[in-house]
Amino acid sequence: MRALALSITGNRGVAIAIAIVQWVARFVAVVLVIATFNFVLVHAAPGDPAQVMAGQSGAADEEMLTRLRAEYGLDKPYPVQLAIYLKRIVTLDLGYSYRQQRSVLSLIAERLPATLLLTCCAFLLSLSAGVSLGTLAGVRAGKWSDTALTIVSLFLYAMPVFWLGLMLVLLFSVQLDWLPAFGYVTIGVQMTPFERARDIAAHLVLPVVSLGAVHLAIYARLMRSAVIDVAHQDFIKTARAKGLRRGQIIVHHMLRNAVLPVVTVAGMQAGTLVGGAVVIETVFAWPGLGRLTFDAVLQRDYPLMLGIFLVMSVIVIGLNLLTDAIYRIVDPRVSLRAAS
Amino acid sequence: MNRREFTKLGLLAGAAGIGGIPLGITRAVGQTRGGTLNTIIQPEPPILVTALNQQQPTLTLGGKIYESLLRYDFDLKPLPGLAQSWEVSPDKLTYTFKLHPNITFHDGAPLTSEDVVFSIMKVLIENHARARNTFSRVEKAEAPDPLTVVFKLKAPFAPFLTAFDCTTAPIVPKHIYEGTDYRKNPANAKAIGSGPFKLKEWVRGSHVHLVKHEGYYRPGEPVLDEIIYRVIPDSASRSVALEQGTVQLTQWTDVELFEVPRLSKLPHLTMTTKGYEFFAPHTWLEFNTRIAPMNDKRFRQAVMYAIDRKALLARIYFGLGKVATGPVSSKTKFYEKNVKAYDFSPEKAKALLDEMGLKPGADGKRVTIPYLVPPYGETHQRTSEFIRQSLARVGIDLQLQGIDVAGWAEKFSNWDFSMTATTVYQFGDPALGVSRSYVSSNIRKGILFSNTCGYSNPEVDRLFEEAAVATSDDKRQEFYSEVQKIMVEDVPVAWLLEIDYPNFMDKRLKNVVTTAIGVHDTFGTVSFG
């Protein structure tokens, strides 16, 4: 409110500075709250990493458990562990994974690109294909092509993502042998950068399609109903009456108005870009962050789990801001309300 | 040219190998030397140094990198490893090993008796629970010359010679580890051992790439140029990889048991269950014998009668194994087959339950018992359901509780359970892998694979102790036979099955499973064709 008030009185520079300070303070506070919450949550579960390691090595004794617990810092009381943890976060130190014998930051940095590549491609695919198909279905509402598109999108929506992935592998890898069944890149082969890019692209196809399918269907459904909604409004009739061509009407008048609900949902999907691909990364043996998370959870690798959760929350907060910005661009009416 | 080849030519002209079969394999066809073996590692190990971590996948992969003094044939008789010969003194207190000359580590440094003494007496005793149990009985280890190692024991320990396989006693380089914090040594990332393969690259989440150790001491070994261990977390994808030829070997539970009948029919694969003799996995129902009704011998016997273990083996394990008859695996020395037999008989079970006063209520249930489902995959889930149904027929109502690995380990090791199931390895000798589950001295809260059932019988304790230190095999057999008879009558746990895990391999692969530790061995002689 204060920022808004100042901006109205004209002190624009000061207003922006204050807004930024406020925003940063809020950001830090949110991150610390999230970090504390994560910590408490993670430590509330029964069992600890030392137990898991012992359970997987077929033999254990006190000495081994005591040593592992000391290494993990698990022998200190919880409040002390929490304090140490929060202090480290403030200095941007995400800690050390004893289990993997690596720093948490390097582990995350190593896996993040693969996940971003996968999820961003899936995001773009589902968004572009979903919006196009939904628009198509919307403007052809009631015709057979609309019915066909509706059935396909319902089908995709209802399909469990791991099952779709496996079916695609059976068809395109096992039967047809067109595409690799899993992995990120062909292993053990010397390749030029161009060949490598092609190879990675080939490995991307099936996981991207599987991962994108559900959201594609959601966007298509949303888009279709929004287009049908908008098509009956007065300004479209006016546009028609002005004699605009159909393509112009769809692109300039219908889409801009119909796309708002899609932006909302896309913003939510964007939030899952970082960690939301656990299942697909598992099915396709994709060396990404989702699987790193999953393994960390299974193995109770506390420093790694907490590090991933924190990085994810920071990215989600960032993406929320971006979604807000896009909203304002698509629909200028939003800005004033959002600014307060 | 068939469709497959055609597609490959067309599609893969630029990006060779998109179809999933790396060039190394093609090169290996029709050759006896060289080639790349692609296989699976699952789950991905945290580190590869077997002296510091003994999880299953670490041992499978680390066996190619780290060697030990001995290997064992399928009957668990010692074979030369790093040691070319060995001698045991008549009083069974002194063991002298002669090493092969010219053994080198992957960094080029020679491996000598100093490395052996350092690895065993320092690194392993500090970091390896199983090795500590054996080597803490050593009074003094010496290296009189670079090729001789002498161990002097405090007292005779019969299975001492069984403890030198590469999973129990891996040898690490002293010049790298001495005086450092072993677990934080940066060289751990390079995994420098003396095995036939050395680490070239480890892409986390994707694969571990091993290549030939050129300075390996055994002439002509290794035959293969490379081994690639791929991390494939999904079991359906692992089967596809095997089917497609992307990988040429699977081990342990890489393939779910219900896939075995289907994969066995594929023409390009062969399957063996050999190579697990040293581990001899033994699966049993664990009772918490501290609480009723599990504290009553008759209840535990009733459970043995109530479960049709032959049907369990046939339906859930697809015949991959044997019905267990007692605490010692039939694959291990000192197995006693003349023990009380528990045939499938719900009537006998009901009679025992009636006799102990556990009568059925109005709903037919005599007692309701929570059961922790072991969180180790689909087969355990199915086994648990099979057992619940079996016991329901005699009025014992099991309530299955799903749980994750950490939670299971915590509850199980802290005796916070009524019943669960577990699979325990025998490690080649009852003194190493059997007695620990039953002797009173090993009732230790918070420790997995100790005597978690809480069974305590002074006679059993005495027999196990005497068998461990007896110096003649005949004497040991006597003690072990007696203890098995007592325990099968007592049923401290309900033994279910000895499991045979399947190793699937490409038909062209030779010499994969040659010893009792199977796929954990060095793979020095493994070849294509």
pLDDT value of residue B327: 97
Q: Which B residues 413-432 touch A at CB under 8 Å?
A: 413, 424-425
Give the closest of A61, A179, A285 to B129, CB-based: A61
B219: CB partners within 8 A, 6+ apart: none
Cα angle: B445, vertex B446, B447; to 5 degrees: 95
Which chain A residues are within 8 Å of B3, Cβ to Cβ? 177
Q: What pLDDT score does A94 carry?
A: 85
Instruction: Considering only residues A316 and B352, tell me which one the structure prediction assigns the higher pLDDT.
Output: B352
Residues 233-272 of B with CB under 8 A from A: 233-234, 236-237, 240-241, 243-244, 246
Q: Using an 8 Å Cβ cutoff, are A309 and A34 in contact? A: yes
Whether A51 sits inside 8 A of B406 (CB atoms) is: yes
The pLDDT score that the predictor gives to residue A240 is 82
Residue B77 banded pLDDT, cuts 50, 70, 90: very high
Backbone angles phi, psi at A134, to 5 degrees: -65, -40
Q: Any chain A CB within 8 A of the CB of B331?
A: no
Q: What is the pLDDT of residue B238?
A: 93
- Identity of the residue in A55, A110, A283 whose CB atom sits nearest the CB atom of B405: A55
Residue A276 has a pLDDT of 62
Secondary element (H or E) of residue B150? strand B148-153
Beta carbons of B449 and A60 less than 8 Å apart: yes
The correct answer on CATH 1.10.3720.10 for the domain covering A107-336 is yes
- The reply to whether residue B22 touches residue A188, judged by beta carbons under 8 angstroms, is yes
Mean pLDDT, rounded, for A134-142: 85
What does the pLDDT average to over B127-137? 88
Distance CA A51, CA B222 (A): 37
**Residue among A187, A294, A295 whose CB faces B207 most closely:** A187
User: What is the mean predicted confidence (pLDDT) over A47-59?
Assistant: 69
Q: What's the pLDDT at B142?
A: 95
With an 8 Å Cβ cutoff, are A186 and B20 in contact? yes
Pick from B344, B41, B67: which is nearest to B198 by CA?
B67
**Residue A96 C-alpha, separation from nearest chain B C-alpha, in angstroms:** 11
**In this complex, is the C-beta atom of A93 within 8 Å of any C-beta atom belonging to chain B?**
no
Element containing residue A97 per DSSP (H, E)? strand A96-97
Chain B nearest CA to A102, separation (Å)? 9
Taking residue B139's Cβ as centre, other Cβ atoms within 10 Å add up to: 10
Distances in whole angstroms, Cα of residue B399 to Cα of each of A177, B374, B420: 46, 13, 11
More confident residue, B296 or B183: B296
DSSP state, residue A185: S
Residue B110's Cβ-count burial label (10 Å; 0-12, 13-18, 19+) is: middle
Bridge partners (DSSP) of residue B368 are B397
Give me the pLDDT at residue A334, please: 63
Question: What pLDDT band is residue A60 in, cutting at 50, 70 and 90?
Answer: low
CB atoms inside a 10 Å sphere around CB B68: 25
Residue B3, pLDDT score: 40
Q: How many CA atoms does the CB half-sphere of B438 hold within 13 Å?
A: 32
| Amino acid sitting at position A65 | L
A61 with B444: Cβ contact below 8 A: yes
pLDDT class for B438, splitting at 50, 70, 90? very high
Q: B residues 161-200 near A, CB within 8 Å? A: 183-184, 188-189
Angle of helix A193-231 versus helix A144-158 axis, rounded to 10: 120
The dihedrals phi and psi of B62, each to the nearest 5 degrees, come to: -65, -20
Residue with tokens 């059993």: B460
CB B50 within 8 A of CB B59: yes
Name the token pair of B368. Answer: 């309701």
In a mutational test of the B interface, the residue from A43, A56, A194 whose CB has the highest number of chain B CBs within 10 Å is A56
Q: Domain-by-domain residue ranges, chain A?
A: 12-91, 107-336
For A224, list phi and psi in degrees, rounded to 5: -60, -50
Distance separating alpha carbons of residues B495 and A259, to the nearest angstrom: 64
Nearest by CB: A177 against B4, B24, B233: B4
Residues of chain A contacting B16 with CB distance shorter than 8 Å:
186, 189, 191, 195
Lowest mean pLDDT among A3-17, A232-246, B397-411: A3-17
For residue B235, pLDDT beyond 60: yes
CA-closest candidate to residue B211, choices B203, B201, B220: B201
Identify any residues that bridge with B208 across adjacent strands, giving them in sequence order. Answer: B202, B229
Q: What does B162-208 look like in DSSP terms, one character per residue?
A: GS-STTTS----HHHHTTS-GGG-GGGGT---SSSEEEEEEETTTEE
Q: What is the pLDDT of residues B444-495, one digit of tens each?
A: 888 888 899 999 999 999 999 999 999 899 999 999 999 999 999 999 999 9
Which among A47, A174, A199 has CB closest to B407? A47
A89 touches chain B (CB under 8 A): no
**What b/e sequence results for B512-527 when a residue is b if at least 16 CB atoms lie within 10 Å of its CB, and e otherwise?**
bbbbbbbbbbbbbbbb
Share of chain A above pLDDT 90, in %: 8
Task: Give the pLDDT confidence score for residue A77 in this predicted structure.
Answer: 83
Beta strands across the sheet bearing B83-88: B83-88, B94-99, B148-153, B138-145
Residue range A65-72: mean pLDDT, rounded: 77
Whole-number CA gyration radius for chain B: 24
DSSP B223: -
Q: Shortest Cα distance from B327 to chain A (angstroms)?
A: 17
Residue A12's contacts (CB-CB under 8 Å, 6 or more residues apart) are: none
pLDDT of residue B23: 41
Does A54 contact B at CB distance below 8 Å? yes
**Mean pLDDT value across residues B108-136:** 93
Name the percent of chain A lying above pLDDT 70.
Answer: 90
CB contact under 8 A, A188 and B232: no
The answer to whether residue B205 neighbours chain A at the CB level (below 8 Å) is yes
The pLDDT-based confidence of B24 (bands split at 50, 70, 90) is very low
From chain B, pick out residues whose CB is under 8 angstroms from the CB of A107: 204
C-alpha span between A150 and A133 (Å, rounded): 9
Among A237-251, B300-314, B381-395, the minimum mean pLDDT is found in A237-251
As a three-state string, the secondary structure of B451-478 is: CCCCCCCHHHHHHHHHHHHCCCHHHHHH
Q: What DSSP designation does B14 have?
A: S
What is residue B294's predicted lDDT score, i.e. its pLDDT? 96
Q: What span, in angstroms and rounded, lies between the C-alpha atoms of B4 and B57?
A: 33
The confidence score (pLDDT) of residue A90 equals 81
Q: Does B232 touch chain A (CB under 8 A)?
A: yes
pLDDT surpassing 50 at residue B193: yes
Distance from CA of A217 to the nearest CA of B (A): 26
The amino acid sitting at B461 is D
Average pLDDT over residues B112-137: 92
Whether A7 shows a pLDDT value over 50: the answer reads no
Weakest-pLDDT range from B26-35, B295-304, B318-327 = B26-35
User: Highest mean pLDDT: which of A150-154, A288-292, A303-307, B284-288?
Assistant: B284-288
- Model confidence band, residue B434 (pLDDT cutoffs 50, 70, 90): very high
Q: What percent of chain B has pLDDT over 70?
A: 94
* A101:B189 CB<8 A: yes
- Judged by CB atoms closer than 8 Å, whether chains meet at B406 and A45 is answered as yes
Cβ within 8 Å of residue B331, ≥6 positions away: B276, B277, B280, B426, B498
3-state secondary structure of B504: strand
Is any Cβ of chain A less than 8 angstroms from the Cβ of B55? yes
Q: Which of A108-112, B136-140, B192-196 is predicted least confidently?
A: A108-112
Residue whose C-alpha is closest to residue B502's, from B210, B262, B187, B307: B262
| Average pLDDT of chain B to the nearest whole number | 90
A42-46, A238-242, B20-24: least confidently modelled range:
B20-24
> Please, what are the domains in chain B?
67-188 (3.90.76.10), 195-274+503-528 (3.40.190.10), 282-499 (3.10.105.10)
Check CB contact under 8 Å for A49 and B404.
no
Over residues B326-349, the mean pLDDT reads 95
Within the 215-274 window of chain A, which residues sit less than 8 Å (CB to CB) from chain B? none
Instruction: Determine whether the interchain pair B233/A169 forms a contact, defined as Cβ–Cβ distance below 8 Å.
Output: no
- pLDDT of B308 above 50: yes
B307 to each of B312, B389, B391, how far by Cα in Å?
8, 9, 7
Spatial distance between the Cα atoms of B78 and B68, rounded to a whole number of angstroms:
12
